[in-house]
Amino acid sequence: VEWEWFPKLLETIETVRQPVVAGIKGAAPAGAFELTLPCDIRILGSEASYGVLEVKLGTFPHGGGTQRLARLVGLSKAKEIVLTGEFVAPEEALECGLVHEVCEPGAVDERAKAFADDLTENAPLGMERAKRLLNGAFDVPLEQGLALEESLGRELDDTRDYREGIEARLEGREPTFEGH
């Protein structure tokens, strides 16, 4: 099977402007596990089989599993997950920050949709810039990241959404963001 499309799919998930929420219900080993790593939010079913097992198959996770996983959970935990080739228990996945929530298997879709719906209430320009900077947070020195953060933040000072957010807060109402 040719897999040239897989890295591009993962990059698209990671770089799309909107936050991406993954609902993981059942078995998500190997490539399916790696498919969830660039997602911004991961909701895991309490009975899911979730992890990388490639070292037990004569290879290693090479769809982002060594790089994205280490950035999510830290190097030591990523080594444990990758080198043992064992599934990660749902409670452990939650504890180490690999997933954001664990719920009953039948509630995964509902919880993932609810999380996504909640995100749609936030300012799209702010979320897009925050996502971009968070994804690149470990790629640049702190000073450079802080300067970029300030610069991109100032770009939003004159937007309709920023004015709406401030006005709504002062008026005690929910803001209506339009993405400009």
Write the burial class of residue 180 (CB in 10 Å: 0-12 exposed, 13-18 middle, 19+ buried): exposed
- Residue 63 is which amino acid? G
In whole angstroms, how far apart are CA 135 and each of 33, 52, 132? 19, 22, 5
Whether the CB-CB separation of 145 and 137 falls below 8 Å is answered with yes
150 belongs to the catalytic site: no
Q: Which of 14, 54, 80, 143 is catalytic?
A: 54
pLDDT tens digits, residue range 94-138? Answer: 999 999 999 999 999 999 999 999 999 999 999 999 999 999 988
Among all chains, which residue has been given the structure tokens 């990388």? Answer: 52
Write the burial class of residue 169 (CB in 10 Å: 0-12 exposed, 13-18 middle, 19+ buried): exposed
Inform me whether the pLDDT recorded for 145 exceeds 60: yes
pLDDT tens digits, residue range 48-68? Answer: 999 999 999 988 988 888 999
Whether the CB-CB separation of 174 and 123 falls below 8 Å is answered with no
Query: Where residue 16 falls among pLDDT bands split at 50, 70, 90?
Result: very high
47 belongs to the catalytic site: no
* Cα 42 to Cα 56: distance, rounded to the nearest angstrom: 25
* Cα 59 to Cα 34: distance, rounded to the nearest angstrom: 14
Structure-token pair, residue 6: 């897989």
Q: How far apart are the first and last CA of the chain?
A: 43
Query: In this predicted structure, what is the pLDDT of residue 112?
Result: 97
Dihedral of the alpha carbons of 97, 83, 19, 106, in degrees to the nearest 10: -70
Pairing of strands 49-51, 27-29: parallel
* Cα 27 to Cα 50: distance, rounded to the nearest angstrom: 6
Query: Where residue 1 falls among pLDDT bands split at 50, 70, 90?
Result: low
Q: Which of 2, 11, 34, 104 is catalytic?
A: 34
Write the burial class of residue 42 (CB in 10 Å: 0-12 exposed, 13-18 middle, 19+ buried): buried
